[in-house]
Amino acid sequence: DAKTTQPPSMDCAEGRAANLPCNHSTISGNEYVYWYRQIHSQGPQYIIHGLKNNETNEMASLIITEDRKSSTLILPHATLRDTAVYYCIGLRDRAGSYQLTFGKGTKLSVIP
Amino acid sequence: DSGVTQTPKHLITATGQRVTLRCSPRSGDLSVYWYQQSLDQGLQFLIQYYNGEERAKGNILERFSAQQFPDLHSELNLSSLELGDSALYFCASSVEQGGYGYTFGSGTRLTVV
């Protein structure tokens, strides 16, 4: 699975869009980009995933560059409850089993 | 409530002891994963079961073992506990082997004294 690189921390003003970058320059053609977040010591929560196209759901948008070497998770209107560690994970779609491998993530602090 | 139930929520035990952590997956999910999160190590994958069979092993110590029962609930057994085993232990489940998105439980906080 691709190695991902994320900034260790970011701040975002409440109500503004939070844009969290992720570099995955070694990603292969059949690897998905997954985003999870962990609020304090709760269990990680799935946010969104994508392969090539941009994706949007009720929580966030995922923008993947055309060369797929990087992506950005966008929280359109950040709230204090979005303060969490955000993990970008590359995951190959392969038969059999595959497991999420968590890195250090980005600690997002939403500031009032 | 994510649908993944972990018990107990908190556990305090002494070194050398043995404990069992329990996980009930979300209804319909066949895969169960165990993760360990300690302060200095982050989230570490331990082991995965799919429909009762072990599918993958990660950084799981020999003192640790797990199983998944016919009703799909899973137990993680930790024995000869050491101070360094103090951590949050998370269980996650998914529909398929890996599936699209895991659902995590709220974890069991183990403290070894």
Tens-digit pLDDT profile for residues A36-64: 999 988 999 999 999 888 999 999 999 99
For residue A100, pLDDT over 90 is answered with no
Distance CA A107, CA A84 (A): 6
- Contacts with B104 from chain A: Cβ below 8 Å: 43-45
- For chain A, the average pLDDT equals 90
For residue A94, pLDDT over 70 is answered with no
* pLDDT the model gives residue B2: 83
Average pLDDT over residues A75-102: 84
Q: What residue in A sits closest to B98 (Cα-Cα)?
A: A98
- Contacts with A8 from chain B: Cβ below 8 Å: none
- Contacts with A104 from chain B: Cβ below 8 Å: 42
Q: What residue in B sits closest to A94 (Cα-Cα)?
A: B98
Here the tokens at position B47 are 């082991």
Closest partner residue to B42 (CB to CB) among A34, A49, A104 is: A104
Closest partner residue to A98 (CB to CB) among B4, B92, B98 is: B98
* pLDDT the model gives residue B41: 75
> Whose CA is closest to B2, among B106, B110, B113?
B106
Per-residue pLDDT of chain B in tens (113 residues, 90 and over written 9):
889 999 999 999 999 999 999 999 999 899 999 999 998 778 999 999 999 999 889 989 999 999 999 999 999 999 999 999 999 999 999 887 655 678 999 999 999 99
Contact B105 A43 (CB under 8 A): yes
Q: Does B38 touch chain A (CB under 8 A)?
A: no
* pLDDT the model gives residue B39: 81
- Contacts with A36 from chain B: Cβ below 8 Å: 102
Q: What residue in B sits closest to A89 (Cα-Cα)?
A: B101
Pairing of strands A31-38, A45-50: antiparallel
Quote the minimal CA–CA distance from A68 to chain B in Å. Answer: 19
If 0-12 CB within 10 Å is exposed, 13-18 middle and 19+ buried, where does residue B12 land? exposed
* pLDDT the model gives residue B100: 63
Residues facing A24 on adjacent strands: none
Are the CB atoms for A49 and A33 separated by under 8 Å?
Answer: yes
Compute, in degrees rounded to 10, the torsion defined by CA atoms B81, B48, B69, B80. -10
Average pLDDT over residues A8-32: 92
Contact A97 B92 (CB under 8 A): no
Here the tokens at position B42 are 């982050």
Distance CA B62, CA B58 (A): 11
Secondary structure class of B100 (helix, strand, coil): coil
Out of A8-12, A81-85, B58-62, B89-93, least confident range: B58-62
Closest partner residue to A99 (CB to CB) among B58, B88, B105 is: B58
Are the CB atoms for A105 and B56 separated by under 8 Å?
Answer: no
For residue A66, pLDDT over 60 is answered with yes
* pLDDT the model gives residue A96: 54
* pLDDT the model gives residue B42: 84
* pLDDT the model gives residue B24: 98
* pLDDT the model gives residue B95: 81
